[in-house]
Homo-oligomer: A and B are copies of this chain.
Amino acid sequence: MTSISIIGSGKMSGAIAEVATRAGASIQIIKRGAESMSAARPGLDYGVMGDKLIGDLVVLAVPYGAYPSIVERYRDQLREKVVVDISNPIDFSTFDQLKSPADSSTAAELVKLLPAGTAVVKAFNVNLGDTLASGTNGTTRTTVLFAGDYADAKIAVAAFIEAAGMRAVDVGPLTRARELEAMGFLQIVLAALGKTRYESGFTLLE
């Protein structure tokens, strides 16, 4: 059984916690400063920023802009973890571009912040939160696309996804995060425009 620490306590944190519950994982949720918290659920271990991370997988469920402060706080611990980047750094003032560099990705920028050799996996960013919480995307089983450079880390993330009853699709090395982020951005725009429901979105047909 795997264990997971989720940093952040917003909507995506709750969705990933539902996934972890289905996967039978032990769960720690690290609250940031003064942010609001959904009601505590049994089986979840709540902590605050600075608490030791108990999970083998660590999901950053915070805005991209908060990555440097998270890494500053947890740098040494993250070196031993599988760090999961789920972000879509949309500029919500314009809904017209990403805040990450055009030739890069939040995942690639995160790698630069972390100790050399830290395993980062991009995952879950092309899934609207409701499709993770429910495990279904429209009438299909939810497919989770992921990318990374370390085989062991990718196997761990894929096992977590599959244990939660979803389909895991490895799209390649971490450089593919750029395309995953473009797709995640497009999906959020389409949901906001009403072109897809928040309970569905993109999928990869078999």
Contact = CB atoms under 8 A, between A and B. Distances in A.
Contact of A190 (B103, B193, B196, B204): B204
Nearest to A197: B206
A186 interface: yes
Contacts of A200: 205-206
A189 interface: yes
State how many copies of this chain the complex holds: 2
Interface residues of A, number: 35
Nearest to A97: B175
A193 B103 CA distance: 23
Interface stretch (A4-12, A68-76, A176-184): A176-184
Given A102-B102, A103-B103, A183-B186, A204 B193 contact: no
Interface centre among A140, A185, A203, A205 (most CB of B within 10 A): A205
